[in-house]
Amino acid sequence: MSRPQSRARRQAAFMEEAKHMYEKLEDWYDAHPQASFGEIEAEARKRRRELMGKTLEQLVNGRTTGMQVEAPKCKQCGEVMGLEGYCGWGVHGLEGDSRLERAYYVCPHCEGQTFFPPG
Ligand SMILES: [Zn+2]
C-alpha cells in the first residue's frame, strides 16, 4: 500500500501502471488477433477500470494517509491519542475500485477511535 509521496513519484507510479495496462492490451490482442473493434474496446474498458482504480488509489493515498505530525486529542477526554496503525478499506467507484488507507488513532482512556482525514 502506498505512503505519501512527491507529485513526481505519484506521476511516475501512474505512468508505470499505464504502461502495464497498455502491455496487457498488446498481449491480449496478440492472443486474439481476430477480435473486432468492439471486443478490443470491451477488453480496454475492463483494463481502464483497473487502471483508474489504481490511479485514484495513488492520487488519494499518495498525498496523505492522515498521519498527523502531532497526534490528535480525544474529543471526549482531551487526552493525546496514539497512532494505532493504518486502516484500509475498499471503495467501489464509478471509474474503478480503489483501496484507500487512513491513519487510525485510539484514545488510551476511552477507547475512542478516530480516522484521519475524517470521512
Ligand atoms: Zn479519551
Cα separation values, 95 from 6, 8, 45, 49, Å: 24, 23, 10, 6
Cα 38–Cα 41–Cα 44 angle in degrees, nearest 5? 155
Four-residue CA torsion sign, 40, 41, 42, 44: positive
Q: How far is the CA of 118 from the centre of ligand 1 (A)?
A: 17
Q: Supply the pLDDT for residue 1.
A: 46
- pLDDT (tens digit, 9 = 90+) per residue, 71-98? 888 888 888 888 888 888 888 888 889 9
Q: How far is the CA of 88 from the centre of ligand 1 (A)?
A: 23
In this predicted structure, the answer to whether residue 27 has a pLDDT above a threshold of 80 is: yes
Q: How far is the CA of 70 from the centre of ligand 1 (A)?
A: 16
